[in-house]
Amino acid sequence: MAGIFWVLSLVPYISIRSGDYQGSSKGIKYSTSSSITSAMAYGFDNILMYKGTIEGVGWNTIFISNTQNNLTFSSVSLMMFFDFIFYMLIALYVGALYPGEFGVPIIWYFFMTRKFWCKKN
């Protein structure tokens, strides 16, 4: 299942890359990089494009977009960070709902209750 999920999460990047990649707007690329594998693919594209110019990705080029790509390496890194936070929150939520053999499951809307936010009686 993990392999299938990985391939399916790479489909947005492949669809943008196979079409008009340079003509695609930043908004479309940011929305497709909501998948961690697509964001990593954009990051690898940036690294390879800068590597071809001998300069490479460094502190002096991290905030500059390449001529072929209108995304900067810092923006791609930021999207990967947001993806990490999002997936971590999903994992914590599912872990609270299905805690395993020795845990106590809680209701699915636990974060909307007053007890969750206010610990006082």
In a domain, 117, yes or no: no
Using one digit for the tens of pLDDT, what is the confidence trace for 9-46?
Answer: 888 888 887 877 667 777 888 888 888 888 898 888 88
Question: Model's pTM, two decimal places?
Answer: 0.77
In a domain, 28, yes or no: yes
Q: Between the CA of residue 51 and those of 16, 24, 55, 66, what are the distances in Å?
A: 22, 22, 6, 11
> Which structural domain range is residue 75 located in?
2-91
For the chain, the domain total comes to 1
- When pLDDT is averaged across residues 83-104 and rounded to a whole number, the result is 91
DSSP, collapsed to helix, strand or coil, labels residue 58 as coil
In a domain, 86, yes or no: yes
In a domain, 75, yes or no: yes
Q: Which of 44, 12, 46 is nearest to 29 (CA)?
A: 12
| Predicted pLDDT of residue 91 | 93
Of all residues in the chain, what percent carry a pLDDT higher than 70? 93
In a domain, 103, yes or no: no
In a domain, 120, yes or no: no
pLDDT of 90 higher than 90: yes
Using one digit for the tens of pLDDT, what is the confidence trace for 62-81?
Answer: 888 776 667 888 988 999 99
